[in-house]
Every structure is written in C-alpha cells, then in structure tokens.
Amino acid sequence: MSLKLLNITKRFGTILANHNISVEIGEGEIHGLLGENGAGKSTLVNIISGSLVTDSGTVELDGNYLDLSSPTDAIESGIGILHQEPLVFLPFSIIDNFLAGLPKSRDFDRTAVRDAIGEISQEYGFDLDPDAIASTLTIGERQQLEIARLLWMGARVLILDEPTTAISEDQRENLFATIKRLAASGMSVIFVSHKLEEIQSICNRVTVLRKGELVDTLTVPCPASDLIDLMFGGYKQSTPQSQTVLGENVLVLDAISAKDENGTIDDVSCRFSEGEIIGLAGLEGAGQRILLRSISGLTNPFSGTLIFEGADISHYPYSWYIENGFHYLPADREGEGLIQGLTITEHFALAESQGAKTIDWGKSTQLAQDKIHEYSIRGTVNSKPEDLSGGNQQRLLLALMPANLSVLSMEHPTRGLDIESAEWVWNELLERSKGGTTIIFSSSDLEELISFSDRILVCFAGGIIGDISAKATTPHDIGSLIGGIEI
C-alpha cells in the first residue's frame, strides 16, 4: 500500500498555499511533515483528509485515484485524521462517540461496537470504557478514542496534526508507542510536528515544506542542522540597527503563568528595560500571543508576579494599564485593532474621548485630518478600515496610539506590508524606542527579529527556551530554538 500525492496545488486568492507538491508515503511508514508557520502543512493535510479540495493535482491510494470532496469521502477511502484538539462529543459516552456521524449505510449494533472497542483497546493498549463520558477523559485518552474510532471505521492512513501539543510526557510516550504499533501493522502514518526531536525519534522519513513548496524529503534520523536549514533557508541577515542605549528595568515578569483562549504560558521570567526592543520568536501557539496579552493587562496571570517600576501590577484592571502608558497592537488589524463601519474620524473621537460625555466633532475631524497627513494614510476622514489597505490600516493603528507610551506590545508589526510600508513602520517604532518606550513584538520573520531587536526571546511550548542578543545570533540559532533544540 502507498499513498501518493501528485502535483498538489492550492490557492487562497493571491496566496499560493501549496505549489506542485508530490510525495509518496509507503505502507508501514511514519512520515514526518515539517515546516514553519505558513509553510503549507495544514493546507496539505486538509486536502488529504477531505476538508479542502485541491485546485490541481491528485491523491492516490493503492494506485486508485481518490475523489476527496469531504472528510466522509476521505474516511470511506481509508484516510483518517487526528486533530491537535481531538474532535469528540464531550457529553457523549465513548460508545456513542463511535456511533455519532456514521454513514446511514452502517449498522447501529451497540453490542458489536462495544466488542470492537474492547478488541481495539486490547490490541493497542488503550484504556477505553465504552460507557465512560468523553468529558471525563484526559486529552491523551480522547486521542485514544479518536484513533480507535478511526481504526474501527477502516482507516489505513492516519494523519496526526501536532498531536503532542496538549498532552503530558507520559501521554506522549503512550501515543508514540501506539503510532509505532500502528505502523508495524501496516498503517501509513503522517506525523505533523514543529518539534525536531519528535520528528527525529519517531519518523522514518520527513518532508520539509517552506512557503508552500516541498523543499526536500530526508531519511531520519539526520543532523538537526539539515532540517533547520531546510525550514528556514533563504534568509539573508541584514545590517542590524545600532545598539540601543538602555535605561533601567521597567518591567519584570517573575514566574508568570497564564491561560486563556489564546494559549498558555508557564513559569515565564524575563526583564525589559526602558527603550529596549525585544523580539518574540516561535511558531504560532508557542506562547507569544498570550505573553503579549499578559504584559498588556488583557490577561491576568493566575500565578507569578508582573512588576512595573517596582510595583506589583499582576491583577490590576486593563483600564489601569491604558492609563499608565501600556498599549497593545494585535495582528488582526480589522478584527481586533479597528472597528469596521466606523470612519477614521470616529476612531479618533473614541480614542480621544476617554469616557467624556460629549464629543467635539470639529476637534476630532481636525485631528483625523492632521494624522492622515502626518502618517501618510491613503484615505479621508470618512474612510472606514475595510476601505484601507493593510499598510494603511497599520498606519492608522500607529496614528491612534497615545503620544507617551511606557510599554508597547505588538503582534507581527509588518505582516502583509510592502517593503516601503514596513520600513516606514519601523522608523516610527525606532523613534518611539529612542523616546524611552519599551517595545515587545512577535514576528515570524527571522530577518526582522534580528534586524530590529536588542534581544530575542524564543518561545517554545508555553515557555522561554532562549534569551539571546540579536547582535550575536543567526537565523540558524533561532531556528534551532524554535524547533526545541537548546543551543
């Protein structure tokens, strides 16, 4: 048995997510899929599992062309996927999870299903009680439930998409043992991960994607440096900015742990100086977003302390942070940073009113006109965010910032911007830094991190795996840390 992907191509508007990707995965093979954020991994596995339809190219199993128009088509063809968060019905029992969503052609014989759960559990060392409620299971046990259900439905190819993100070390070992047993029984396994150590320890081969294209397929284990070069190759280190003259430590995180819908950070400690620019590196979900939100007062830590100018501000309300010079710029400019339907004038009226009972519309209109000119925003006082380009939305967000800021937290400050707009943004930020503002920003662009940061904190699995000088590092060093390899 073999799974063949032949010339897979998929576009989303002008973005080429997968370009002419071809790879073959053999019977009993554990095949890794590796790449940084935006490399095209999720698009590719969604095509294989029927969640997306390819624009061109084919998927073949056992020499037969597969028409994968839905996840149902995929599972009926023998392809199943275990998502990062197991897709189970939490209020249902294990046996009812097996029966939920079955094709009408399949029998609802509960006795036979109960027997099948027992047989699969015994064969693969699972601990699944058919009558247990899914909400009482750990994430690792929910993964077992999903795998068992896919096996029962006839899966011969199993895709695991970042399966170790939310499980303990013991659960990871159990999962890896299961994967090896599945492969030994002849199942083909596609293992998607950003953790180099996991790829090296469990896979037979690994395919590396970068910017939507297949860079190479290697036999593993292999030197980690080879994988890092393939993942992050093509970066040319530009001349870094001159060393910032730093002031005193203004912000100290001491063993901060926090959790919300944006992720988790655990026991994070770091210090930030006045006027310092700190870059946050790491794959999406590694902890950068919640760290920035915790620094900005949007998410309060449940343990540890956040100290600003000597005072513990860990549980102060968000309003205090705003009043004391903290500011947060999200990556989602339209969804979080700006308000669709409101004009530029109305945005400045909201920013300047500060809870006042009345608005001076003449003053707000004049301010909007002045800022449009000062920040070279291509729009009018009556333009709305949805009418502006990404670069002009970012200029508007910068124009809306208060004049005096202590700490500025930013997500991907130049994502999606042309070279001219990105250069303009950084000129503005460097001026803020010279004025004493501490700037903390996340970016997936290694060249940007090295060029504009004083220090780079590398996030991995909710913690800080590296705190390095931007002037004494390379993209290869950062890539190693992003992949979980300490240097």
Tens of pLDDT along 37-87? 778 898 999 999 999 999 999 999 998 999 999 988 999 999 999 987 788
Q: What is the mean pLDDT of residues 232-260?
A: 69
- For residue 128, the Cα-to-chain-centroid distance in whole angstroms is 31
Q: How confident is the model at residue 148 (pLDDT cuts 50, 70, 90)?
A: very high
Q: Which helix (H) or strand (E) holds 28?
A: none
Kindly list the structural domains of the chain, giving each domain's residue range(s) and its CATH number in brackets, ordered by start: 2-232 (3.40.50.300), 249-482 (3.40.50.300)
Percent of the chain with pLDDT over 70: 94
For the chain, how many helices (H) and strands (E)?
16, 20
pLDDT at 413 exceeding the cut of 80: yes
> Which span out of 33-37, 44-48, 372-376 was modeled with the highest average pLDDT?
44-48
Question: Of 179-183, 378-382, 412-416, which range is least confident?
Answer: 412-416
The count of other CB atoms within 10 Å of the CB of residue 84 is 16
Residue-averaged pLDDT of the chain: 88
Q: At what angle do helices 110-124 and 139-152 cross, to 10 degrees?
A: 120
Question: Of 211-215, 238-242, 320-324, which range is least confident?
Answer: 238-242
Tokens 């890539």 sit on residue: 479
Q: What is the DSSP letter of 93?
A: B
Query: Contact 64/118 with Cβ under 8 angstroms?
Result: no
Question: What is the Cα–Cα distance from 292 to 147, expressed in whole angstroms?
Answer: 36
The structure tokens listed for 345 are: 């004038």
Quick one: pLDDT at residue 239? 43
pLDDT at 235 exceeding the cut of 60: no
Percent of the chain with pLDDT over 90: 53
Q: What is the DSSP letter of 114?
A: H
Query: Contact 400/425 with Cβ under 8 angstroms?
Result: no
List, for residues 294-327, the tens digit of each pLDDT value: 999 999 999 999 999 999 999 999 999 999 999 9
Quick one: pLDDT at residue 245? 54
Quick one: pLDDT at residue 105? 60
pLDDT at 169 exceeding the cut of 80: no
The structure tokens listed for 337 are: 């940073």
Quick one: pLDDT at residue 104? 63
Side chain identity, residue 441: F
Q: How confident is the model at residue 27 (pLDDT cuts 50, 70, 90)?
A: very high
Quick one: pLDDT at residue 430? 93
Quick one: pLDDT at residue 236? 45
**3-state secondary structure (DSSP) of residue 269:** strand
Give the β-pairing of 2-12 and 56-61: antiparallel
Quick one: pLDDT at residue 130? 93
